[in-house]
Amino acid sequence: MDSPFRKSAESHPRRIGWLDGVPRDQQALLEFPGIEILQRDAQRTVLRIPPSPARPTLIAKIHRERDLAARCRRFFGWGRARLEWHNLMQAEAGGASVPRPVALECHRDHDIVFSDYLLDTEHYPQFLERFDGVQRVALLRVLGNWVAGIVRAGVDAHDIHTGNILVRGHDAESASLWLIDLHDARVGFGVAPHRRVAMVRQVARALGAARAGDDVLHFLQGWAHGARTLGVDASWAVGPDREDFGIGWADVVQQRHDETLHAAERAEIRRRRRHISRALRGGNGIHHQPVKVEGVVQVRRQASDGHPPGEPRAAWFGDRVLQTVWHQKPRSALFIEGGSGVPEQVVEPVAAGSSLASLLRDPANAAKRIEMATIIDTVIETMARYHHEGIQLEGATPEQWFIEKGRRGYQALPDLACIRYRGTLTAGTRLADLLQLGAIFDGSVTPSDRLRVLRSHPEFASLSHHRSALRSLAAHLGDLFATSTTPRSPIRVEPVRDLEEQCASLHRLNQDHVPELGGLEEESFQSLLRNASMVRLVAGESAESPAALMVVMLPDDDYDSPNFEWFRRSFDHFAYVDRIATAASARRRGIGSALYAVLEAWARNRDLTSIVCEINLQPRNQDSIDFHHACGFREVGQSIGRGKPVMMMRKKLQD
């Protein structure tokens, strides 16, 4: 559906000269010298246009309407670009702090909005995190006053979260704020009372809602003062206006404060749950994140031998929880949902540090009572922070807590598989997590003393349950720690550290698998490993007896195998599995599927399109054929390489 306005243009009367020499259509603009792409997706491309003597730095937003509703709006002349242009013009005329509009260009299949590029600015959340104490309080009050000014200018912003607010300055006194992305705003008709409340709640939610209650309070103090002073809404402020560091503020009506926190908190919990639930939606059972897997990684597998069910899935969700709540970078590289004979698996880095249980059981640490007490305090404080964010640490016994010592002291991290996002936690849930941790105490400590130590932290001191019930639960903690067993270890996959030293043992493993694998002299085998793009092993019980080996080539590698040449002639951008060898003592443990999971994460991180390999047909290796079929490989041909027929198999990673 195309707009009847095939080609139209509008310009700001005082800024028309700013676009002299700048192309007005998408293709020419993308080829303009010095252009920088800031963002690109299916709906929008954002470009930075360099300055010249006649113009400042500009930004160009190329809008392409994809969904039906947006196309219908564009047909009637009100696409996203035109809405943003109209809102920028109206907001600037009303005195709102927004990027200066320059021009609008409407074409057959795309529209472009040109506006001023705000130099030396950054997003408000990142700017705020640089400050604490009174400066942070002042900046939050500046934000509140600024929102009141936006409302006074008649801007009804539906997307006013702090990520759409830019700030420039060195402190609260010099800070200047701007609102960006106005394509879904309403400007020029005033802001209705319920919309004013909605805008305030949206900012409060973005600040962290009840989890950052002081931040929200100081923001509301600035809003209450600004709204009353500008004549926007006097129902938020109570008492006299005040001023600190030249920034006005007023006390907030308690009911208004509580309602804002409650509503913002509910909205934030819903947002987080939606974001986390997207972790496993759609796709083909394979979920990938761009995480490097060059070092030592581990593969958790679903098992039926008493291992907790769903651990790989729980670890993947736990990673998404930390990304959503703590804004951490992804840790897990790949999740395979399983089915068709393949277990559920997740590929992730090995947990840093030692487990709390191993530290406590080590006799060398018995005399270090002060240091161990510090570690336990760190764990309890970390648990309290997770609880404050609505995260339960289900089943996090000392075996699932990992302790690492850095320059800033000890850090405690729970296992990803224990993390559950609940939004809000009851006192009983928090106490259950605390009692799981209580297994750190042995029989030399009485049940009452165990609970007294654990509940001494301010976050847990208020937990109240029936005394007899607490004593009964605490009585089992010492036995739990004494009899608990180490969880089923994930499969650790690591690169070859020292080829000269490890080559002999790896060569023996290779020769044990002839004729399934091609036999090689040790010198030729060492040359093979040097030329390979990826060599990974699974350590065995000793350094002299590795459990498994995987060798992988890329199309540009120097390798003269006829099977490799066959794939090179037929496909591009593939990872070629030259050989996988698993020691007899390590079979039936899922090492083969774990190696393929690590390879897939490695290949996807390099944007490869497929994984390929060959399997002997004489003698026919039916077990290997069935295994590769279960892993998603399909036959793409047959060949005779070096005198024996082989089946050529391929697993597609991208269409």
**603-655 pLDDT, tens digit each:** 999 999 999 999 988 878 888 899 899 888 999 999 886 678 889 999 999 86
Strand 610-616 and strand 644-652: pairing?
A: antiparallel
Domain covering 123-272, topology: Transferase(Phosphotransferase); domain 1 (1.10.510)
Measured CA to CA, the distance from residue 263 to residue 267 in angstroms comes to 6
The reported pLDDT for the residue numbered 306 is 46
- 573 band by pLDDT with thresholds 50, 70 and 90: very high
Spatial contact of 371 and 405, defined as CB atoms under 8 Å apart: no
- 54 band by pLDDT with thresholds 50, 70 and 90: confident
Q: Provide the 8-state DSSP code for 329.
A: P
Measured CA to CA, the distance from residue 551 to residue 653 in angstroms comes to 19
Measured CA to CA, the distance from residue 25 to residue 111 in angstroms comes to 8
- Backbone Cα Rg of the chain: 31
Measured CA to CA, the distance from residue 273 to residue 533 in angstroms comes to 40
Task: Output the six-digit token pair for 385.
Answer: 């922070």
Chain-wide mean pLDDT for the chain?
85
The reported pLDDT for the residue numbered 495 is 93
Average pLDDT over residues 496-505: 90
Q: What is the pLDDT of residues 393-402, one digit of tens each?
A: 988 888 899 9
Domain covering 8-116, topology: Phosphorylase Kinase; domain 1 (3.30.200)
Average pLDDT over residues 166-171: 90
Neighbours of 50 (CB within 10 A): 14
- Residue found under tokens 């007490």: 373
Please name the residue ranges forming H helices in 363-466: 369-388, 427-437, 447-454
Task: Output the six-digit token pair for 109.
Answer: 């299949």
Please name the residue ranges forming H helices in 153-212: 193-207
Measured CA to CA, the distance from residue 620 to residue 627 in angstroms comes to 13
- 464 band by pLDDT with thresholds 50, 70 and 90: low
Q: What is the pLDDT of residues 289-332, one digit of tens each?
A: 988 888 899 999 886 554 555 789 999 999 999 998 888 889 99
- The one-letter amino acid code at 286 reads I
Measured CA to CA, the distance from residue 521 to residue 535 in angstroms comes to 18
Burial (CB count <10 Å: 0-12, 13-18, 19+), residue 32: middle
The reported pLDDT for the residue numbered 314 is 92
As a 3-state breakdown, the chain gives helix, strand, coil percent values, each rounded to 5, of 40, 25, 35
- Does the domain at 354-483 match CATH 3.30.70? Answer given as no
Measured CA to CA, the distance from residue 570 to residue 300 in angstroms comes to 34
**164: helix, strand or coil:** helix
The reported pLDDT for the residue numbered 2 is 44
The reported pLDDT for the residue numbered 434 is 80
The reported pLDDT for the residue numbered 241 is 94
Strand 44-49 and strand 58-63: pairing?
A: antiparallel
- The one-letter amino acid code at 277 reads S
Average pLDDT over residues 228-249: 93
Cα 318 to the center of its chain, rounded Å: 10
Strand ranges (E), 436-556: 491-495, 534-538, 548-553
Average pLDDT over residues 98-103: 93
The reported pLDDT for the residue numbered 469 is 53
Q: What is the pLDDT of residues 353-364, one digit of tens each?
A: 888 888 877 777
Residue (of 18, 63, 46, 206) closest to 123 by Cα position: 206
Q: Provide the 8-state DSSP code for 522.
A: H
Task: Output the six-digit token pair for 481.
Answer: 């720690």
Spatial contact of 292 and 605, defined as CB atoms under 8 Å apart: yes
Q: Of 390 and 72, which is predicted with more confidence?
A: 390
Beta carbons within 8 Å of 592's beta carbon, 6+ residues apart: 548, 580, 582, 627
Phi, psi dihedrals of residue 55, rounded to the nearest 5°? -150, 155
Average pLDDT over residues 473-480: 54
The reported pLDDT for the residue numbered 5 is 45
> Given a cut of 90, is residue 589 above it in pLDDT?
no
Q: What is the pLDDT of residues 530-553, one digit of tens each?
A: 999 999 999 887 767 899 999 999
- 129 band by pLDDT with thresholds 50, 70 and 90: confident
* Residues above pLDDT 70, as percent of the chain: 86
Task: Output the six-digit token pair for 264.
Answer: 């913002």
> Given a cut of 70, is residue 90 above it in pLDDT?
yes
- The one-letter amino acid code at 492 reads R
> Given a cut of 70, is residue 471 above it in pLDDT?
no
Spatial contact of 75 and 2, defined as CB atoms under 8 Å apart: yes
Beta carbons within 8 Å of 395's beta carbon, 6+ residues apart: 308, 418, 436
What is the torsional sign of CA 495, 500, 501, 507?
Answer: positive
Strand 610-616 and strand 574-582: pairing?
A: parallel
- 283 band by pLDDT with thresholds 50, 70 and 90: low
Average pLDDT over residues 127-132: 88
The reported pLDDT for the residue numbered 268 is 86
Strand ranges (E), 237-277: 237-244, 247-252
> Given a cut of 50, is residue 221 above it in pLDDT?
yes
Domain ranges of the chain: 8-116, 123-272, 354-483, 491-652
Average pLDDT over residues 190-212: 87
The reported pLDDT for the residue numbered 476 is 54
- 567 band by pLDDT with thresholds 50, 70 and 90: very high
Beta carbons within 8 Å of 154's beta carbon, 6+ residues apart: 90, 91, 94, 96, 187, 188, 189, 190, 191
> Given a cut of 60, is residue 470 above it in pLDDT?
no
| Residues forming a β-bridge with 36 | 48
> Given a cut of 70, is residue 437 above it in pLDDT?
yes
Measured CA to CA, the distance from residue 156 to residue 508 in angstroms comes to 72
Would you say the CATH fold of 491-652 matches that of 354-483?
no
The reported pLDDT for the residue numbered 3 is 45
Domain covering 491-652, topology: Aminopeptidase (3.40.630)
